[in-house]
Structure 1
């Protein structure tokens, strides 16, 4: 009978002999090493079969390693692909979205007028660009000399790259990765960067710049790009475009420039704010000339025959505007804009058209000009002077008179260094106070040999074998301060230099375009002992002395002097705001620094009145006169100083000549001392500048060391440091006296002895401070 489906008999299959299998463990029963092995197995790649033999530990290790390397290879291929395709894709995406700046539009955004304001908000003047209202030059109008110089300076292979130099970029990346500093921008990239004003050190900016440069190269030719560059790039001195630069550097048309002159202007492109740094300019010029020689744009004979083509002085070819001392104020403002203190740069400021709020007080600036003009009227026309005034409580420069000739002459405040004479002695005292001395300590003040050098004093001292530091400062006694520094138990010269640097004398200054260290001896060694009386290595800028004495006025707190309080954009937005940064000068502990400064002020308070230049209205003021005597002279001086202060204002006045080795005399033919012309200028300025301001007194000092004079005794001396040092010093640098001693038993020789022993000079007597 037929069977229905599903009703057929089934036959039992014979049993399969399998090895008994172990029942799987629960997850909670697994051993840790099992978990590790299971973690290394990829379920989606290797299916687990119960009947496969178990792998040994070594086999498991090899399997894991094989899988890891497989993943590494895949990742590497993916990364390599992204490295190759990523930039291509990024450029393809960015290319239609970016546009390069057109030169006519760039030129229209340049050369904006900058407005300068006094501290009270009134207008001082304007800074205009020498390139204002300029016309765009064509490629044919630009001489080959100029083209070659710029290409040599910025991109010698410009005509051979597509808007960027890949090799240069890779080289720059390598240098920066290995700790160096380099840029990889070609000329087209430089144009993009300068035209947009975006110089942020970011990868995004650099990428966008490369894309714009590439697009500019595709849409215009190399000649057009070079022309755009030469019409718009900034060359320093306020000049945008090479045509304007030729005027401010050499007062020439471009076609009249020599290859050497063109090379110097082109050399300023990289760092235009350093255009007045002579050493930098020479170095960059030499590099550009070398590139031009290598490219055969000049021949070897021309290269060998050339000397650095010194440009005209900064002020000779500046456009009309501020004149006289205010022209120098404008220059200081521009330098500060380009400095790290502000960091906006004049190049950016000209594109925006900013308003700069300066620190200059119009009343005080006028007081400075009036004081100089009044006192110097009828004097020797070869005499030069400067006056700098600083607010001790902020560091703000309130008045700046660097000479009457403005930009056409020398800046006698910050552009010259001179021996400070006795006005340097307060720094000796700072060093002595730091080593435990007090203003009541006594020294032998008689003319004598100290550390192997003959030292003498002025003629009218009342001190002898026992003279306190306080009285020695008042009478400006060389022997006391030379002994204080140079004797075996003295402070040493480095301590004095350190004190001056801490107070505000910069360690490096730029004079005549050349950087030089201050207060150092030959070969970078400590200064010689002449520094104790402001001679030899004690050469400083007059402006810096006002800053250093402001630190005494501020009770030991140093503030860097500045000319700019605020910079505003055209819409009134604040682009920069000065912030007060005060630091203790003479000790990291503010209280100790304050005590040192107060003790110094205590010794300087009597000097203005003693020198017949007291402040008006019984106003307390402190200061120090100083002179530098000509070598091999009896009473002829080459420089004279007065530096002094109140709690509200510090001012420095210097008088000298362009030739530092010429005697300075007043209109009556008499030698000029610190209390003479400089002191008179200082007094007139301070009285007028402080008129109407509250009369403030100096703080009472906390006594340091032996503060009070010793009680009278029958001994010649009561301090270990007042015995004459008649044996040569063991110090490595032997000092040289700038006031040679004449062989005489008369301690007043060669100056006339005073008619009285009161110590108070009478009318017609020699200046009480005729020492250096």
Structure 2
């Protein structure tokens, strides 16, 4: 009988009483006698019995686990290791975590150091830098402009279209220095890119900021490829291409390529063409100051006609040139901004006359309307741009202006503008900004003017929003004294026909200043009137060539004074924007931003941009309430064209408001005469604004007979002629019936509106100048300017101001100031 598992022979091998080892039959080894063996070495009865070994093909899952080095519950039963305390387990876990963190950090650091190197090594053979000859061949393609009906308007060709590539030796040192000062003063010291600038740009990307990191070589890559997305991927590819370009060419070659191809604004690619479109000079004849101005336009070429921006950038480049000793201090101190030639004189002719300014507006609209296609890209691609201009309406605008101004024999000193906008879409259908063509002064979008009583429509919006109605009454007598205003407010001709309880409806038709001044200053509030004007479509800020300017703000940037209620003082607007704002009334309280570009297509027919309608409920988030407000405004404004003797033909319903701005006592012999006159009106399908004034600013405007011009006069006649011509043969539309708001009808005891009208309606026109300012006209001593070519609230043109209140008088404003 074999010994039980785990048993051993007594005494152990060769122990006391043991025999020499050996197997059975070996000499000296006695035979085994199981019966005589001691039984005390048998396994204890409480030990688990040993299981018979299984076949390898019949192992249980737990056996596989044990063979793999696992531990089962039975092993734990015999585990003599002491259990860890909770604190020890926590420390052990923490130790393992930090070990993993260290490993991860080392891996990340390795990737940070090696990743870019590997990425550059992979990308380097796959990219190529653009050759200047190839880039030049793709530039200066023709842009085709179309009318709204897809008929061709004109083609825009770039200056220097058939230019030759310059060599490094042909480029004057003055030009080289100016461009280096503007873009990369350390160009000759870097390997194609500025590492610190790139890191700074990357930081801006991570922190959602903005800023560039491109040296001149990278600028060339960016401009040549047309890829300017502010992404790290684009920046990385740009760096690799710049690095490769630097390795395969020298700095002189790179600078030459840059000067041959970069865009400088005014349609000019390359410095040679830029010298022509800014100064009509060869590059060798440019002064350092002139070269600095052209170089200063590289970063923002679309702002080339913004004088304030141009001056600021020019001064920066001049400072860089001085710092690098490329000009001396004496030259720097002696220089003034080198005024470039007028844009119109340097551009290839496409359209002459009024339609030339449309071309300028299309070019500006590429940036302003956020089409995603810059003028530079449009030139490189050779796109077709479908504009919003309706050829029939444009012809109507031109014929109306010529009929009244030229054939009518009006003085040449009178200037005018006409803008027509489709209320149902915001499309600009007709645009007459001036007679002299591309680059000339634009009287529709390039000037800020006091709108006079045409601003009272916004007063009415604010009143309707704040519980007032067309039947609400105010004291309409004239003159009236108001706290904080030294000069009494007067109605035109001191009209007292409406009495002390004058309904708003009658006051609007008769354009009574005392009612609207009282309503805005003492009841509704100036701030709410300003808000209503912005809601209708008057922008918060515009750029008219002298930098951005906020509209409808006081001299301190806050709420304007009460004169704004009558369209005077700080109430200055562009004529273009008045057409847009009145279009909101025509659209029954829906605002749509005006636009010039309908669609842009590439040479292959691919649509690069398509205008999308974006209606906004203007006067209230609830469209039905906004609609009611607009309809109530229209309900009274539709009475004015008839009462002003400028109705639409054939009994067509149309609405609108005249306006004038009267000269103050400081005008001398011109005091009491008008310096600006307006007519802004609409039908359900078109809104048009006409302005008449003079280049000199606040000087009297007189018609051919020498008479004072009112809104119903020259501007009203132009508006009437345009509306009749533009709408001839179209459906006779009617305005929707207004839902009465608030106090719609006046109390029974109120005086009825006077039905008598003077033959020429002049006495019903507002003075629009309630405060009779005494401030003289001022000019900038450093650079004289005339008329509205200067900012309205600074030197260069008369501004209407309210005299400071006397001690103890309440402050002017909305009546809520403490």
Settle same-fold status: TM greater than 0.5.
yes
The residue aligned with 2:501 is: 466
Q: Does the 8 Å contact 1:450/1:486 carry over to 2?
A: no
Equivalent residue number for residue 54 of structure 1? 82
- 1:486 matched residue in structure 2: 521
Q: Secondary structure at the match of 1:181?
A: coil
Which of 507, 510, 513 pairs up with 1:475?
A: 510
**Cα gap change, 1:320 to 1:15, in 2 (>3 Å):** farther
In structure 2, the partner of 1:457 is 491
- Say whether 1:649 aligns with 2:680: no
Q: Which position in structure 1 is the counterpart of 2:772?
A: none
C-alpha displacement of 1:129: 0.6
Shift of 1:253: 1.5
Deviations 1:380-414 (Å, cap 9, x if unpaired)? 11110000000011000000000111234311000
CA distance in 1, matches of 2:659, 2:119: 69
Q: What is the deviation of 1:78?
A: 2.3
- Aligned-partner Cα distance in 1 for 2:25–2:474: 136
Matched, 1:147 2:164: no
Structure 1: runs of 5+ lacking an equivalent: 25-41, 718-755
Kindly indicate whether the alpha-carbon contact (under 8 Å) linking 2:498 and 2:754 is maintained by their aligned counterparts in 1: no
More deviation in 561-570 or 314-323? Answer: 314-323
**In structure 2, what is the equivalent of residue 123 of structure 1?**
152
Name 1:640's counterpart in structure 2: 677
Cα offset for 1:444? 2.0
Q: For the residues of structure 2 that align with 1:66 and 1:16, how far apart are their CA atoms?
A: 48
Residue aligning to 1:390: 421
Aligned to 2:298: 269
Q: 1:445 to 1:7 in 2, by over 3 A?
A: farther
Deviation at 1:63, TM superposition (A): 4.0
User: How far is 1:461 from its partner?
Assistant: 6.1
Superposed CA deviations along residues 73-113 of structure 1, whole A, max 9, x for unmatched, are 33322222222222222212221111111000000011110
Instruction: Tell me: CA distance 1:78–1:451, structure 2 relative to 1, closer, same or farther (3 Å).
Output: same
Hey, what does 2:477 align to over in structure 1?
A: 446
Match of 2:342 in 1: 313
| 1:757 CA displacement | 6.8
Alignment of 1:295-314 (within 5 A): 295-314=324-343
Equivalent-residue separation in structure 2 for 1:6 and 1:564 (angstroms): 113
- In 1, Cα distance between equivalents of 2:709 and 2:49: 115
The answer on whether the counterparts of 1:457 and 1:771 sit within 8 Å (CA) in structure 2 is yes
What CA distance in whole angstroms lies between the structure 1 residues aligned with 2:147 and 2:497? 48
Does 1:766 pair with 2:762?
yes
CA–CA distance in 1 between the matches of 2:43 and 2:119?
66
Query: Residues 462 and 758 of structure 1 are in contact (CA less than 8 Å); yes or no, is this contact kept in structure 2?
Result: no
Cα gap change, 1:374/1:85 in structure 2, threshold over 3 Å: closer, same or farther? same
| 1:99-140: CA deviation from partner (whole Å, max 9, x where unpaired) | 111000000011110000001111100111113111111111
Q: Residue 566 of structure 1: SS of its match in structure 2?
A: strand
The answer to whether residue 250 in structure 2 is matched with residue 221 in structure 1 is yes
Report deviation, 1:59: 4.7
Alignment of 1:361-510 (within 5 A): 361-377=390-406, 378-452=409-483, 453-459=487-493, 462-487=497-522, 490-510=523-543
Change (3 A) 1:296 1:5: farther
Shift of 1:64: 3.8
Describe the SS at the equivalent of 1:399: strand
Residue in 1 that maps onto 2:773? none
Match of 1:583 in 2: 616
Confirm whether residue 191 of structure 1 aligns to residue 220 of structure 2.
yes
- Does the C-alpha gap of structure 1 residues 17 and 522 become closer, same or farther in structure 2, counting only changes over 3 Å? farther
In 2: Cα distance, 1:482 partner to 1:770 partner: 12
How far apart, CA to CA, are the structure 1 residues paired with 2:613 and 2:635? Answer: 27
Q: Distance in 1 between matches of 2:42 and 2:115?
A: 61
Q: Of residues 82, 94, 99 in structure 1, which corresponds to 2:111?
A: 82
- Indicate the structure (1 or 2) with the bigger Cα radius of gyration: 2
- The change in CA–CA distance for 1:16 and 1:268 in structure 2 (over 3 A counts) is farther
**Residues in 2 aligned to 1:23 and 1:229: alpha-carbon distance in whole angstroms:** 92
Alignment of 1:82-101 (within 5 A): 82-101=111-130
In the alignment, structure 2 segments of 5+ residues that lack a partner are 1-19, 51-68, 769-818
Distance 1:447 1:56, change over 3 A: same
Q: For 1:146 and 1:43, how far apart are their aligned partners in 2?
A: 80
The 1:618/1:88 distance shift into structure 2, 3 A limit, reads same
Contact 1:387 1:402 in 2 (8 A): yes
Q: Residue in 2 aligned with 1:288?
A: 317
Counterparts of 1:3 and 1:534 in 2: how far apart (Å)?
128
Matched, 1:68 2:97: yes
Residue number in structure 2 paired with 1:731:
none
Q: CA RMSD in A?
A: 2.9
* Contact 1:673 1:767 survives alignment (8 Å): no
Contact 2:357 2:439 (8 Å CA) reproduced: no
**Aligned 8 A contact 2:360 2:439 in 1:** no
Q: Mean alpha-carbon deviation: is it higher for 585-594 or for 280-289?
A: 280-289
8 Å Cα contact 1:450-1:482 kept in structure 2? no
1:252 lines up with 2:289 in the alignment: no
The number of aligned residues is 709
Relative to 1, partners in 2 of residues 1:89 and 1:341: Cα closer, same or farther, differing over 3 Å?
closer
Give the SS at the match of 1:596: helix
- 1:159 and 1:765 map into 2 onto residues whose CA distance is 73
Paired residue for 1:595?
Answer: 628
Distance of 2:455 and 2:515 partners within structure 1: 14
| Deviation for aligned residue 1:224 | 0.4
CA contact (8 A) 1:462 1:759 kept: no
Q: Secondary structure at the match of 1:248?
A: helix
Question: In structure 2, do the counterparts of structure 1 residues 62 and 110 end up closer, same or farther at CA, with 3 Å as the change threshold?
Answer: same
Cα 1:54/1:320, change in 2 over 3 Å: same
Counterpart CA distance in 2 for 1:611 and 1:228 is 64
- 1:544-559 matches, within 5 Å, as 544-559=577-592
Distance in 2, matches of 1:315 and 1:576, equals: 28
Equivalents in 2 of 1:246, 1:65: separation in Å?
Answer: 70
Which position in structure 2 is the counterpart of 1:625? 658
Over 3 Å counting, the alpha-carbon distance change for 1:469 and 1:189 in structure 2 is same
Task: For 1:176-215, list aligned pairs within 5 A.
Answer: 176-215=205-244
Aligned residue for 1:348, secondary structure, equals: helix
The equivalent residue for 2:696 is 659
Q: Does the CA contact (< 8 Å) of 2:421 and 2:579 recur in 1? A: yes
**In 1, Cα distance between equivalents of 2:363 and 2:439:** 17
Structure 1 Cα separation of the partners of residues 468 and 715 of structure 2: 31
- Are the aligned partners of 1:101 and 1:192 in contact in 2 as well (CA < 8 Å)? yes
Report the counterpart of residue 612 of structure 1 in structure 2.
645
- Judge conservation of contact 2:664–2:672 (CA < 8 Å) in 1: no
Structure 1 contact 635–671 (Cα < 8 Å) conserved? no
Q: Is the partner of 2:196 in helix, strand or coil?
A: helix
Distance of 2:229 and 2:620 partners within structure 1: 39
Q: Is the 8 A contact 1:380 1:666 kept in 2?
A: yes
Decide whether aligned partners of structure 1 residues 558 and 450 sit closer, same or farther in structure 2, where only a CA change above 3 A counts.
farther
Query: In the TM superposition, what is the alpha-carbon distance from 1:544 to its structure 2 partner?
Result: 0.5
